[in-house]
Structure 1
């Protein structure tokens, strides 16, 4: 049973956003996507799981221990692509969505990227523009997919990488650490040798 979204206003600490690093978290992310894409929107399993899941970074959102949302990030030369964003119906709250998006933007910019794109149907594109600061991609035509009644619009958001963005000059130990946990020494890292 879903916890009520109204509870997050009183207990924001119930919501946590994480980079998927375990098989259980990935199963949770795939379950959310199945609910939202396949059950709610009638998207086929083959289109929902399109072959890009093994090359992507997955994000999972929990309310307590209950998975409530997910997104995936794919990495290209000069930009990251945020996609497959989905939340269970009772958790489609602007505060939850914004918290997830901000986590994703921080993750992308920490990796040194200053541009993220996404594709959304017109209704969601308006939401991403108003709530998350995306802008329409200049010169891009809407894209139609089989089985979808509306086109997808390409959106762009520019980010400012932080001072500690990961670059070729970053400490080598950082490059061995778990995705998203770059500031935490790994259990195998010899410290102070």
Structure 2
């Protein structure tokens, strides 16, 4: 259903395979969760090149006020930003949207890999149902990845394209983050719950009974 290959760094989740400082000549595909303003600007650049430049989407419709309430994934070829995906979270479903891949990287199954990474990130958060939308003429692309058209829903229109609603049903990751998890795990950077973060290391400092840090 979803591609697996050398782009999945051994021992790392599919949504956390990019390693900073990768050789620019490396031809491998990697993906990471956006965790900084600089990384988010790469998302802006990719979406601007794809949706605004190629599809004539108005700026205010592309950047719709939802970007700072979402998670974003960025894919790379070597160290070059190549694609992106936005994920938003609701009570009983997550939504994958704004899938974009730069024109020069569209022969690498980049979109499929980003969708797979997005699904896996949602599974790690415990979601069973993932929602999306497809341009009507691209529905078969998503169906080949296991998505289905949401029953009983009509096509709808925005930004000059016809869309249909789609869903992907799955099971949570057996190691999904839940209430009762180690509190240090819940403080770690998004998508890097499997290894200690800066606040884990801060716990090595001692604290007096008043709660004041001391050396």
Fold shared per TM-score above 0.5: yes
Q: Select which of 90, 110, 115 maps to 1:96.
A: 110
Pair 1:144-2:157 in alignment:
yes
How far apart, CA to CA, are the structure 1 residues paired with 2:198 and 2:148?
Answer: 42
Counterpart in the other structure of 1:159: 170
Q: Select which of 154, 166, 175 maps to 2:186.
A: 175
Query: TM-score, with normalisation over the residues of structure 1?
Result: 0.88
How many residue pairs are counted as aligned between the two chains?
181
Gap change, CA 1:52 and 1:113, over 3 Å in 2: same
How far apart, CA to CA, are the structure 2 residues paired with 1:119 and 1:19?
Answer: 21
- Secondary structure of 1:17's counterpart equals strand
Counterpart in the other structure of 2:69: 55
Cα deviation, residue 92, structure 1: 1.6
Pair 1:106-2:120 in alignment:
yes
Query: TM-score, with normalisation over the residues of structure 2?
Result: 0.79
Q: Select which of 147, 166, 169 maps to 1:134.
A: 147
How far apart, CA to CA, are the structure 1 residues paired with 2:154 and 2:181?
Answer: 38
5+ unaligned residues in a row in structure 1: which ranges? 1-7
User: Counting helix residues as a fraction of each chain, which structure ranks higher?
Assistant: 1
Gap change, CA 1:108 and 1:13, over 3 Å in 2: farther
Counterpart in the other structure of 2:52: 38
> What RMSD over aligned residues (CA atoms) do the two structures have, in Å?
2.0
Query: Could you tell which deviates more after superposition, 15-24 or 87-96?
Result: 87-96
- CA deviation digits over 1:148-177, x for unaligned, max 9? 1x4110000012111110111222211111
How far apart, CA to CA, are the structure 1 residues paired with 2:81 and 2:36?
Answer: 14
Counterpart in the other structure of 1:184: 195
How far apart, CA to CA, are the structure 2 residues paired with 1:79 and 1:26?
Answer: 24
Q: Select which of 82, 98, 103 maps to 1:68.
A: 82
Structure possessing the higher radius of gyration over alpha carbons: 2
Contact 2:125 2:176 in 1 (8 A): yes
